[in-house]
Structure formats: C-alpha cells, structure tokens
A and B are shown apart, each in its own frame.
Chain A
Amino acid sequence: MTTATVDASAAGDREIVVYKKGFNWGGLGNGAAIVVIVFWCLAPFYWMAVLAFRDNANTFDNTPWFTHVTLDNFRYAFDTEFNAFGRSLLNSMVISVSVTVLSMLIAVFAGYALSRLVFRGKSIVLALILGASMFPGVAILTPIFQLFSDFGWLGTYHGLILPQVSFALPLAVYTLTSFFADMPWELEEAAKVDGCTPLQAFRKVIIPLAAPAMFTTAILVFLASWNEYLLSSVLSKGDTAVAPSTVAIVNFTAGPHIVPYTQTMAAGVIVTVPLVIVVLVFQRRIVSGLTAGGIKG
C-alpha cells in the first residue's frame, strides 16, 4: 500500500517537472515552504537542547546558541537523590513493552477475524471497537481508580498496564483490520487447497505475510503507550517506583528554591533522542500505519 501511494506521487512530481519551463520560481517557493515547515517542527527542540546543556543560573540568558555549556543537568536527571530518571525510563520500558505485547497478541486474531471472516454481528463488533477507541480516558479513569484502589493495584505495574491495553487494543485491532483487508488472501486459499488446515494456513502463510503490518502496528502502540500521561499520573499516584518518564518529567525537581528548567530540558532531551531515532528508522512504516488507520477509500 505504501509503495503504491509513493509511486503515484512520484509520477505526479515528474509531470510537474515536464510542464515547468524556464527558471523554476515555483520550486524556489516550495523550497522556502519546506524550510518553514522544518523550522516549525524542529525549532522548539533546538531550544530544548540549548537549555539542556546550559547551567541553571543562565536559564534566561536567551542567546540562541549553545552558551554556558555544562553536563550537570544530566547528572541531576539521573541522580537518585533527586529524580532517579533512570528508574522512570525503565518503568516506561516495562509498561510500554508489556502493553504492546499484550495488545498485539490479542489484536492480531481480532484483526484477522474482522478483515477475513463473514459472520453475523460483524458491523456491531467493529462499531464497538471503534467506539472504545474514541473513548475519553477520564470516563473510565474514575471507576478504574475506585476498582484498583479496592484491589490495592494503585502504584503497581499491572495497575498501569491493564487500562492502557484497553486503549491500545481498539487502535491495534482497527489498524490491523485495515492492513489485513489489503493482503493477498489468495495465498491462504492456495495453501488450503494444498491440504493445510485453516490453522496451519494461518500460521504458515498469513503470519509471515502479515508480519510487516503487525510490526508497524506494534510501533504505533508502543509510541502511544510511551507517551501516555493521564492514566499513568493518576494510577501511579506519583510513586517513583512505577511512574513512567512522562509523569517523572512533569514532577521534575532540582532541590529547594530552584526552578528546574534546564534539568527538565535535559530529561526532555533524554526522552526525545530515542524517539527521534525511532522516527528516523521507521518513518515510512509509521506514516503507512497512521494513514491505514485513518484514511481508507
């Protein structure tokens, strides 16, 4: 699906080149627009990086380049006496990986059924899943909070993971259904004709074919879970032993009477760099996943 859209647009570009004659003023305008867009997206992050490496006393120096450079902020971020940010990153990892694995394990089967099988009540199931995906987090927050506080699950890993699965699951099912609907299912038929049982066909033919779609969906689920804040902040009760990095960064400190701007920015850089790498490596997959989930037909 990705390749098809990319090819179509590449063809479109060629047409434009053919029709333009003389100096390409339009191209220059586009170039300027691209600079504007890239600046829009990255300028605040540049400022984050500048402050992350600046000593706290000069937070409001506001010179737009790297001055008063220090690595102290990063030391504060990981200092167990203050923020123990390493622990928060580990918590984020534990939670996000669990949410992703759990959701994918369940969602793959549902996605297969919804894209492939004919059964009564399919549209109701689809509507239910979509309804769950547009659900406001606050609507289940109150009852979940009550329930988990009765169970003694507040401030535990499973107490943070389970509610997130309920939000990740509809997203995963929905994206997978839309990917699976585009797959060449004739191969499965062929395998069945050759004597595979439906289950064998699923395992030996469908799963390998579906692997890229599953991987893409898993990236989206992982990112959504890594970025979650509302449920985590309430259900962790701010307990640093389980709170993920998003909660930790909002509660950042650098000792009494210090506004910990530069230290917080250092933590921001620590969280942002891996995400930038993920985006760089998987940009095509992420885009195809986002558009598969959003726009069809």
Chain B
Amino acid sequence: MSIVSEPIAENAAKKRGSRRRRGGGSGGGGLHSRDGRMALYLLGPTMVMLALIVGYPIVNAIYKSFQTDPGLDDSTGLFNEGNEWNGVGNYTHWILQQCNAVGGGTETCPSGNLGSQFWDSVWVTLGFTVVTVIIEVVIGMWFAMMMHRAFRGRALVRVAVLIPWAVPTAVIAKLWVVIFDPQGVLNNVLGTSFAWTSESGPARAAIVIADVWKTTPFIALLILAGLQGISSEIYESAKVDGANAWQRFWRITLPLVKPALAVAVIFRSLDVLRMYDLPWVLTQGSNGTQTISILVVKELASKLNSAAALSTITFVLIFAIALVLVRLFNANIVDRGTR
C-alpha cells in the first residue's frame, strides 16, 4: 500500500542520499553498486520464497483455469479425463453462470449448482465489507477517543482491547455459535427465541455482530495511534480561538487522524473481502452468508481447475478494490499535504 510504503522508502533514501552527496560523485557511484549487490544477496531469499509459494502457484492457477476438470461429459455421457483446453469456459461458468447442458451447448446453471451462487456470494461479500467496515470505524473512533482521554486504566484497556484480536477467529466463531443458539444466552438476554442462523436476515446480522465485536477494538487501537500523534497545542489554540468540541472533532481530529483511518479501512476491507473462518463456522455459508472464499473451498472439493478460475476472479476483484481504496485515500492525503 503506497500510503504506508512511501515514507519509509523516502526516509531511507533521504538519509542515504545526504551521505552519498558528502562522499562525492565517483565515490557515491561505487557505494551504489556495492549496495546493489548486497541488496541482491539480502533480498534474494525473500524473493525466491515468494516466487515459489506465491508467484508460481498464481501462474499455475491461471494456466489451469483455462482447462477442463475431470468428470462426466454431459454432451457425450462419457467420462472425461480433464485437463483439456477449455478456453474461457471456466470463467463464463462463474461470471455468466453457464453450465454444460445435456446433449452439448450450455445453459444457465440450475439452482443448487455452485455456479449459480457466484454473484450471490459476490454481493454477500461486498455487503459484509461495506456494513462491517462502516460500523467498525464509527464505533472504533469512539473507543479510540475514550481510550485517548482516559488516564486511569489505560493499561487495562489496552490488554482488554488486544484479547479479541489475539484469539483465533475460529475459536471466537465457535463461541458465537453457542451465544447465537436459539436457546442461547443472547436470546435469553433479549427475551427472544430467534433462530439466528436459519434465516438470511438474522444469519447475516449474526456474522456482522460477531465480526464487529472482534475487530472494532483493533481498529480503535490503530486510530488511537493516529490520535496520539496529534499535538495537544493544536487543540489548545483552537480552544482559545473559540472552537467548540464538535468543531474541534470535525476540523482537527478527523483530518489529522485520516491517514490512520485510511490504513484501518483498507486493511479491514481486504480482510473482510477474503473472510472465511467466521461465516464458515457460524453458518457453513448457508442462508445467504456464503462468501466468495467459502465458494472457492466448496468448489475445491471436486473441481480444481474450475476452482482455480474462481480464485483468479477473486484475486482480480480484491486487487481492483484495493487499488480503488488506495487511490481514494491517497488522493485525499496528497491533497491535504500540499495545502
């Protein structure tokens, strides 16, 4: 994420640059080439590792995503060995929801086929992302401001806030399964007898509640770090100039904490877009809670090449959203910096 990376790169470059200038032209050149060789040695292992376990699989997945899966061929009724060239067949299967028809050709995937669930999963995932991130940022902002002002119990709060973050999502999801049980404690407290996970509305709400509960404290922590970077003198002079609390929040706190907020929003959005543990453990993706990741894992069980196409689509989708978010926030940050 370029918002974050630039300062580091710049800092390092600045420090180095000033020293090189002192060293003189030709000496600087020598240093440069020695650095280059050393950088190659030092970065080599990381790059090799990433190439092997990220790079190669992606290339392989893209290659395989254009091939057929083994299985019965509906048009001939014979068993197909798979791994034959299939063009964009796997992609149209997902995006246009086209399945092979009996007797050749294609037809719209029947309900029950995973292909027919692609767009539902996309919208469910995007919906979760927008709703949870908005709620988490709003409540997280409030948490952060309270934690920033508190001078007693600060250490206690910091520990408390870290615990939901530190405990595995799978464990926490199990805990919420118990809490959301029709006879569980939540219904008991609310005086209701909702079957939380058996209807799409409450099931989605359950996932949003569990995710907001787990992640809001973490967002608060990131925002708190941003708040601590704001000098108190700005607030004092604003107070002297007669700005009320509300104006101080909108005109000082919010703009100055924006870089921290941007990081929180981008990281969290990417996390929710690939969300798997929580909806899988809570609902197994039933009742309108199937995220794209769950769909990939389900397809993985029988059709690897088709799953490869789906994971490639997922990757492109998430990458595009990441780019948009970075652009969105970066533009604002640059804007503010030049003013």
B228 touches A9 (CB 8 A): yes
Q: A33-B146, A110-B43, A116-B12 are in contact. Are A132 and B179 (CB under 8 A)?
A: no
Chain A interface SS verdict (over half): helix
A178 to B6, CA, bound (A): 11
Please tell me if B91 contacts chain A, counting CB pairs below 8 Å.
no
Contact with B along A131-154 (1 / 0, CB 8 A): 010111111111111110000000
Q: A15-B236, A41-B217 are in contact. Are A106 and B296 (CB under 8 A)?
A: no
Contact with B along A107-129 (1 / 0, CB 8 A): 10110111111111011011111
Q: Which one, B11, B56, B163, B311, contacts A275 given CB within 8 A?
A: B163
Q: Which of B46-54, B100-108, B111-119, B195-203 contacts A (4 or more CB under 8 A)?
A: B46-54
Q: Which one, B4, B160, B229, B293, contacts A230 given CB within 8 A?
A: B293
| Chain A residue nearest to B184 in the complex (CB) | A60
Residues of B close to A60: CB separation below 8 A: 181, 183-184
Q: How many A-B residue pairs have CB under 8 A?
A: 338
Residues of B close to A252: CB separation below 8 A: 174
| Chain B residue nearest to A230 in the complex (CB) | B276
B57 touches A140 (CB 8 A): yes
For chain A, which range describes its interface: under 10, 10 to 19, 20 to 34, or 35 or more residues?
Answer: 35 or more
**A271 to chain B: closest CB distance in Å?**
5
Please tell me if A69 contacts chain B, counting CB pairs below 8 Å.
no
Q: Which one, A62, A110, A134, A290, contacts B222 given CB within 8 A?
A: A290
Residues of A close to B322: CB separation below 8 A: 134
A141 touches B300 (CB 8 A): yes
Q: A115-B12, A143-B57 are in contact. Are A5 and B225 (CB under 8 A)?
A: yes
Q: Which one, B163, B174, B183, B260, contacts A264 given CB within 8 A?
A: B174
Please tell me if A80 contacts chain B, counting CB pairs below 8 Å.
no
Residues of A close to B4: CB separation below 8 A: 130, 178, 294-296
Query: Which residues of B from 156 to 171 have beta carbons under 8 Å from A?
Result: 156-164, 166-171
B308 touches A142 (CB 8 A): yes
Q: A136-B293, A139-B61 are in contact. Are A107 and B151 (CB under 8 A)?
A: no
Please tell me if A229 contacts chain B, counting CB pairs below 8 Å.
yes
A44 to B213, CA, bound (A): 9
A107 to B39, CA, bound (A): 13
Q: Which of B14-22, B130-138, B248-256 contacts A (4 or more CB under 8 A)?
A: B14-22
B160 touches A38 (CB 8 A): yes
Residues of A close to B310: CB separation below 8 A: 142
**B39 to chain A: closest CB distance in Å?**
4
Q: A33-B146, A142-B307, A296-B7 are in contact. Are A229 and B175 (CB under 8 A)?
A: no
Q: Which one, A30, A118, A271, contacts B20 given CB within 8 A?
A: A118
B213 touches A162 (CB 8 A): no
Residues of A close to B99: CB separation below 8 A: none
A178 to B20, CA, bound (A): 22
A115 to B131, CA, bound (A): 37
Q: Which of A226, A252, A272, A295 has the most C-beta atoms of chain B within 10 angstroms of its own C-beta?
A: A295
A120 to B32, CA, bound (A): 9
Q: A5-B228, A37-B143, A106-B46 are in contact. Are A45 and B292 (CB under 8 A)?
A: no
Please tell me if B13 contacts chain A, counting CB pairs below 8 Å.
yes
| Chain B residue nearest to A247 in the complex (CB) | B170
Q: Which of A37, A137, A163, A296 has the most C-beta atoms of chain B within 10 angstroms of its own C-beta?
A: A37
Q: Which of A71-79, A165-173, A208-216 contacts B (4 or more CB under 8 A)?
A: A165-173
Chain B interface SS verdict (over half): helix
Contact with B along A11-33 (1 / 0, CB 8 A): 11101110000000010001101
Q: A246-B171, A286-B162 are in contact. Are A16 and B300 (CB under 8 A)?
A: no
Please tell me if B88 contacts chain A, counting CB pairs below 8 Å.
no
Q: Which one, A30, A265, A278, contacts B166 given CB within 8 A?
A: A278
Please tell me if B2 contacts chain A, counting CB pairs below 8 Å.
yes
Q: A264-B178, A294-B4 are in contact. Are A37 and B160 (CB under 8 A)?
A: yes
Query: Which residues of A from 240 to 297 have beta carbons under 8 Å from B?
Result: 245-247, 249-250, 252, 261, 264-265, 267-268, 271-272, 275-276, 278-280, 283, 286-287, 290-291, 294-297
Please tell me if A82 contacts chain B, counting CB pairs below 8 Å.
no
A134 touches B1 (CB 8 A): yes
B270 touches A139 (CB 8 A): no
Residues of B close to A291: CB separation below 8 A: 221-222, 225
A275 touches B167 (CB 8 A): yes
Residues of B close to A116: CB separation below 8 A: 12, 16
**A152 to chain B: closest CB distance in Å?**
16
Please tell me if A8 contacts chain B, counting CB pairs below 8 Å.
yes
**A239 to chain B: closest CB distance in Å?**
16
A135 to B151, CA, bound (A): 39
Interface residues of B, Cβ cutoff 8 Å to A:
1-2, 4-5, 7-9, 11-13, 15-17, 20, 31-32, 35-36, 38-43, 45-47, 49-50, 53-54, 56-58, 60-61, 64, 143, 146-153, 155-164, 166-179, 181, 183-185, 188, 213, 216-218, 220-222, 225-226, 228-229, 231-232, 236, 259-260, 263-264, 267, 270, 273-274, 276-277, 281, 292-293, 296-297, 300, 304, 307-308, 310-312, 314-315, 318, 322
Closest 10 CB pairs of A and B: A143-B57, A166-B53, A297-B7, A113-B42, A33-B146, A136-B274, A227-B168, A139-B315, A291-B225, A110-B46
Question: What are 26 A-B residue pairs whose CB atoms fall within 8 Å in the complex?
Answer: A12-B148, A34-B152, A41-B163, A44-B172, A44-B176, A44-B179, A48-B178, A114-B8, A116-B16, A118-B35, A125-B47, A127-B2, A130-B1, A136-B293, A141-B296, A143-B58, A143-B311, A145-B300, A165-B53, A249-B171, A250-B173, A264-B174, A268-B174, A278-B166, A287-B225, A296-B8
Apart from A48-B178, A265-B175: 12 A-B pairs, beta carbons within 8 A: A51-B178, A109-B43, A118-B35, A125-B43, A141-B297, A163-B53, A226-B168, A246-B277, A252-B174, A261-B178, A283-B159, A295-B260
